[in-house]
Amino acid sequence: MKKGDIVEFYSRLAEENPHPETELESVNDYTLLVAVVLSAQATDAGVNRATRALFATVDTPEKMVALGEDGLKQHIKTIGLFNSKAKNVIALSQALIAEHGSQVPADRDALEKLPGVGRKTANVVMNVAFQQETFAVDTHIFRICNRTGLAPGKTPLAVEKKLDKATPQPFRLHAHHWLILHGRYVCKARKPECWRCIVADLCRYKPKTAEPAAKASGKKQNA
């Protein structure tokens, strides 16, 4: 995608949603970290349902360690891979207490050393909690960057590096949220809704989807 098209691409997403935010619910930096760890291979909505009651009383590493692995499992058992995730959350909480004064570090390397925290999770926390210009490449962003031609790559890391290089100011801080939300609600994996996409004309995806017949006929009847 050409530089001018990239600017226009982001400009339209920004105009539609000037202040995008993560859909994961949290009460502080620590619960944000926990929520992002729990969201791996799970939906944000599913994580939110499981953590609302949890975060109402457990909002520090110390409280999480006191709750214990079995206690945490009871809260998150509706989330995929909850056994391993519970183990990681307790371990990362212990590490925060022992190595970081119970505070979430704002450094990618330090974050990635925590149990259950990979590069994508670290990038999300750095962006949302600490307002750093990072690009967390999840399945939505990987798909959009390749499908549209915005930042094609064969691996999430390759896409991240291209996205970092291609994304100009003033769009860098919110870029990954715009892309995630666009992928979640418009540029869907199986049936992208190209007929209502505000950047469809800039996109390199050739087999664009047409508006569903039922919707189209409804418009004609109401015209």
The answer to whether residue 138 is catalytic is yes
Number of H helices, E strands in the chain: 11, 0
**Catalytic pick among 3, 29, 120, 191:** 120
Cα(28)–Cα(94) distance, integer angstroms: 17
CA distance 182 to 70: 37
Cβ partners under 8 Å of residue 13, min gap 6: 178, 179, 182, 198, 199
Q: Could you confirm whether 164 is annotated as catalytic?
A: no
Helix axis angle, 119-130 to 175-185, nearest 10°: 110
Cα distance between residue 140 and residue 154, in whole Å: 14
**145 annotated as belonging to a binding site for a ligand:** no
Neighbouring CB atoms inside 10 A of 171's CB total 17
Residue carrying structure tokens 């006929």? 217
- Taking CA atoms, 138 is separated from 141, 164, 209, 218, in Å, by 5, 14, 23, 36
DSSP for residue 171: S
Contact 26, 55 (CB under 8 A): yes
Among 138, 164, 188, 220, the active-site one is 138
Catalytically annotated residues: 120, 138
Q: Which residues are annotated as a binding site?
A: 187, 194, 197, 203
Q: Which residues are annotated as a binding site for [4Fe-4S] cluster?
A: 187, 194, 197, 203
